[in-house]
A and B are shown apart, each in its own frame.
Chain A
């Protein structure tokens, strides 16, 4: 798999030159999402709204209609130029869409992601120094069909638990509360460093440090917050440490680019449960961020050898 990244702060100048046959997107919950959708209108011939129904059917909904794995695959043709708008699509949508593209042996897909200028803090008040951010409402760890794993199979065969971490320390706290059974596993934490902006790293570190200490993480690693290829390589290298024999679970609880890397890694390695996913399906808060910082276009070419 080859991943190339194009980044710009001036999307108006660079991105309109590109054209896509088909673009999948989610709902905008903030200004950068709206900016991304506006860009899609100008650059994609066909735009398909897409969402994952976590409360009911546990399927993707394309244009509001339930869509099975086969129906989704049928929408993708090998020669198409496909764009996944990752700012507005959630992790599970990206995972399903990337798997469908991979299943259909699409040559490659592009993913667009827009960084926020600023994230929204939990409360205002007269309280300087607070680090908690209001990026999601309720959450619940629940397997995603296609990447479900029965952790009891690994009771006598502890593996590697790799988690990407971001601003919301609560997500890791919740992982340990809800998952259990990972005590004996080797634990790897990956932070997005450097962050999208100087100084942002400290928020992620400060909000997770207590959990890392409490659960005795074996390794803390770093990868730029916006680097899909770097995060993908990191996952590959952790996986290869175990010679592919040791089960590995990935929890994408950090930045979206790290989520994209996780999805790409899983579609390559998740058959036969050699690697699997744990995910908490956060409900994104409205207006969770303010304004736009940088635009990234990730160009993924699959390797079907």
Chain B
């Protein structure tokens, strides 16, 4: 493979891979001003699925980026809020439980650990602010800072900034050593979190005049991984947050398992915190944001023939003050989008239908489906009579329509009308093409090894990634891998290569579902079973229940099945939406949509088509059943829909 800058442009799609200083790497999301961090001094509960950009956002807001050495910081432009980022270290903090200590001591040990981490970040932020020759002058007081206040809590604590940083690390080591052997090791002095932090900040503000009005934001990432009592500790800090120290948390959906605090009160929204759903805000303008991100990454890697190729400069994309310019300019939107459309072109359904009629294996399969439909009707019409290039999209639907029982001669009449440009049953919003075309195209591709071209193009990538930045970047990355060289100016990634990339990415993310928390194995089975069921549905020649990718459940689930369902939502395996089109007298509930990123792997649609209504029993089996139950469930659907075609391995 040639040295490919374009491949590297999209290769890093996890916050951890980008590091902590995102100064040159962060495209400010278009919702950024809605966070209102400068105005509202209230904790945020930042929610969103895996890969939506929560961690990247928090790292951008943290001191490593805001006070980065790459920025020129003066007393005048010093950010008013200084972010301290903490990621809950699951494997470490979850070990803070058990009989080795009593509950009260575990709580104190956890607070102590949290206190050391935040204190460490606080001191690092100051050290960073005082780093470099210019800053040493601008913020000269930092060097003389006396943090002897810490001796109020521990006589052994040093007073200088650098010595105190070393002290924090030493204390962390002592804590871990003691936890490993609480019977024999000396118990470290457990620091009271809030008092220590407020006293330290107080001393800083007193001695550093440029910090007098400043507020410290603590961002606790992956809150959902904490133990319940640890959440209570954090909840208490949220409830009593006020300047100069405000706590914010980031979590996956349903991640706040308890609203209890250490006192008798519960956390209340919106009195105590604001919930900010990153995915929901991102979705509002995802098309523009994704296109901008695409241009930004390509531009950064110097691909695509130079900066003038892109209608926006990286500087604008990285500037929170320029969001309005980007969001409100329709012409700008069009121009940015045009860049991505050029590199990642899709095919219109008409182009794709014509392509199918010209492609021997696909055409052959269509002829076979039409012939079978005619045979069921005992019709003597020739299948080729239904294949008309001028109305290719209508022709593609004929196989399914015949299998639905529509008479062959009626279809030919409607095809004639369509060809003449007259009103026909094929056309319009409620017409057959509207209802069945995508399903029919997917059906034609289903048994073939080739990926369906419906998965190609920027529009398809947007639908597949559904507001998930990481999924979008992976689709772009693998498209460039497929291309195998840097695109020249005006060169596109062929749709076949994009579709292939979509299938590879999809398979990767199916596999990745195994890593979804404690129940990852189970969630992996849910994805595979559900994907297979939808694939069986997709493989019905009649397409009478086209593009099935979501389901509802006819009554309440028992607790264990409900818990798995919530895990699926938490890990974005499923998206939840209010139910529509409820049959019979059932109450409206919720419906669950399989994440569209899994669609190419199973050969199903990324659209939300017809709904599968699961009985409670079937849902229980899907969510908690044994392997044998799942086998049986799949066989039932397979038999019910009389599917004889190829089938993917369940795993």
* Contacts from A to B (Cβ < 8 Å): 53, 56-59, 66, 68-70, 122-132, 134, 136-153, 169-170, 173-174, 176-181, 183, 210, 272-273, 278
Which of B91-99, B367-375, B394-402 contacts the other chain?
Answer: B91-99
> What are 29 A-B residue pairs whose CB atoms fall within 8 Å in the complex?
A53-B98, A59-B98, A69-B183, A123-B627, A123-B631, A125-B631, A125-B647, A127-B649, A134-B627, A138-B518, A138-B520, A139-B521, A140-B518, A145-B180, A150-B176, A151-B89, A152-B120, A153-B169, A153-B176, A170-B521, A170-B524, A173-B512, A173-B515, A177-B516, A177-B520, A178-B90, A178-B91, A180-B87, A273-B177
Q: Are A58 and B100 in contact (CB under 8 A)?
A: yes
Q: Which residue of A lies closest to B169 (CB)?
A: A153
Most buried by B among A58, A68, A144, A145: A145
Q: When A138-B519, A151-B89, A176-B515 are in contact, do A57 and B95 touch as well, CB less than 8 Å?
A: no
Within 8 A of A (CB), among B616-631: 627, 630-631
**Complex Cα gap A235–B179 (Å):** 25
Known contacts A59-B100, A123-B630, A174-B520, then 6 further A-B pairs from the complex at CB < 8 Å, ordered by chain A residue: A59-B98, A69-B183, A125-B647, A153-B173, A153-B176, A173-B515
Contact call B99/A170, Cβ cutoff below 8 A = no
Residues on B with beta carbons closer than 8 Å to the beta carbon of A183: 16-17
Decide if B463 is an interface residue (CB 8 Å cutoff): no
Query: What residues of A have a CB within 8 angstroms of the CB of B173 in the complex?
Result: 150, 153, 273
The 3 A-B pairs with the shortest beta carbon distances in the complex, nearest first, are A58-B98, A143-B95, A170-B514
CB within 8 A of B650: which of A53, A130, A147, A179? A130
- CB neighbours (8 Å) of A148 from chain B are 92, 95, 176, 179-180
Q: Please measure, in the bound complex, the distance between the C-alpha atom of A131 and the C-alpha atom of B225, giving whole angstroms.
A: 30
Q: Give complex CA distance A220, B354 in Å.
A: 49
B508 proximal to A (CB < 8 A): yes
Q: What's the minimum C-beta distance from B173 to chain A, rounded to whole angstroms? A: 6
A residues less than 8 Å from B177 (CB atoms): 272-273
A122-B651, A124-B631 as given contacts; A174 in contact with B515, CB under 8 Å: yes
B175 within 8 A of A: yes
Query: Which residues of B, 147-191, contact A by the 8 Å Cβ criterion?
Result: 169, 172-173, 175-177, 179-181, 183
Nearest-CB distance from A299 to chain B (Å)?
A: 29
B557 in the interface (beta carbon within 8 A)? no
Cβ–Cβ < 8 Å partners of B516 in chain A: 177
Task: For the complex, give the distance between the alpha carbons of A210 and B478 in Å.
Answer: 14
Interface contact B180-A150, CB-CB below 8 Å = no
Given A125-B631, A173-B515: A58 and B99 interface contact (C-beta under 8 Å): yes
Pick the contact of A149: B90, B176, B648 (CB < 8 A). Answer: B176
Known contacts A59-B98, A124-B631, A153-B172: A180-B16 contact under CB 8 Å: yes
Could you tell me if B95 and A145 are in contact, using CB atoms closer than 8 angstroms? Answer: yes
Residues of A within 8 A of B172 (CB): 150, 152-153
| Nearest Cβ on chain A to B407's Cβ, whole angstroms | 36
Q: Which residues of B contact A128 (CB under 8 A)?
A: 649
Give Cα A143 to B95, complex, Å: 5
* Separation of A57 and B651 alpha carbons in the complex (Å): 36
In the assembled complex, which residues on chain A have CB atoms less than 8 Å from the CB atom of B98? 53, 56-59, 145
Q: State A59–B100 Cα separation when bound (angstroms).
A: 8
Which residue on chain B has the smallest CB distance to residue A131?
B651
Q: Please state if B91 and A179 are interface contacts (CB–CB under 8 Å).
A: yes
Q: Which of A124, A134, A142 contacts B91 (CB 8 A)?
A: A142
Q: Name the interface residues of B503-525: CB closer than 8 Å to any CB of A.
A: 508, 511-512, 514-522, 524-525
Find the B residue at minimum CB distance from A179: B91
> Which of B95, B175, B177, B183 gathers the greatest number of chain A CB atoms within 10 Å?
B95
Name the contact of B117 in the complex, choosing from A59, A144, A152 (C-beta under 8 A): A152
Distance of A126 Cα from B638 Cα, bound (Å): 12
Which one of A56, A146, A169, A210 contacts B181 once the chains associate, using CB atoms below 8 Å?
Answer: A146
- The reply to whether the CB of B634 lies closer than 8 angstroms to some CB of chain A is yes
Given contacts A123-B630, A169-B514, contact A179 B100 (CB under 8 A): no
Contacts of B650 in A (CB 8 A): 122-123, 125, 127, 130
Contact B183 A124 (CB under 8 A): no
- Which of chain A's residues have a CB closer than 8 A to the CB of B525? 122
Q: CB-CB < 8 A to A132: which residues of B?
A: 651
B521 touches A136 (CB 8 A): yes
A171 to chain B, nearest CB (A): 9
List residues of chain B with CB within 8 A of the CB of A66: 99
Which A residues are in CB contact (< 8 Å) with B508?
A: 210
Of residues 597 through 631 on chain B, the ones whose CB sits less than 8 Å from some CB of chain A are 627, 630-631
Chain B 282-294 interface mask (CB, 8 Å, partner A; 1/0) = 0000000000000
List of B residues within 8 angstroms of A150 by Cβ? 89, 92, 113, 172-173, 175-176
B518 pairs with A125, CB closer than 8 A:
no
Interface residues of B in 75-109 (CB under 8 A from A): 87, 89-92, 94-95, 97-100
A59 to B97, CA, bound (A): 10
Q: Which residues of A contact B97 (CB under 8 A)?
A: 58
A138 to B524, CA, bound (A): 12
Taking the nearest CB of chain A, how far is it from the CB of B166, in angstroms?
Answer: 12
Q: State the Cβ distance, A290 to closest chain B Cβ, in Å.
A: 15
Whether A173 contacts B91 in the complex (CB less than 8 A), given A130-B651, A137-B521, A139-B520, comes out as no
A58 to B648, CA, bound (A): 42
CB-nearest residue of chain A to B225: A178
Which of B17, B92, B512, B515 sits near A143, CB closer than 8 Å?
Answer: B92
Chain A residue at minimal CB-CB distance from B97 = A58
With A70-B183, A123-B651, A272-B177 known as contacts, the answer to whether A149 contacts B521 (CB < 8 A) is no
Task: State in angstroms the CA–CA spacing of A19 and B519 once bound together.
Answer: 42
Q: Quick one: closest B residue to A132, CB to CB? A: B651
Do B176 and A170 touch (CB < 8 A)? no
Task: Given A123-B627, A145-B100, check contact A273 B514 (CB 8 Å).
Answer: no
Chain A residues within 8 Å of B183, by CB: 68-70
Beta-carbon nearest neighbor of A135 in chain B: B521
Does B514 contact A149, Cβ atoms closer than 8 Å? no
User: Do the beta carbons of B515 and A181 come within 8 Å of each other?
Assistant: no
Within 8 A of A (CB), among B477-523: 508, 511-512, 514-522
Cα distance A140–B567 when bound, in Å?
14
Q: Are B515 and A177 in contact (CB under 8 A)?
A: yes
A169→B508 CA distance, assembly (Å):
12
CA distance A70 to B520 in the complex (A): 36
Query: Known contacts A56-B98, A144-B95: does B647 contact A139 (CB below 8 Å)?
Result: no
Q: Which residues of A contact B99 (CB under 8 A)?
A: 56-59, 66, 68
Report B449 CB to chain A, min CB distance, Å.
14
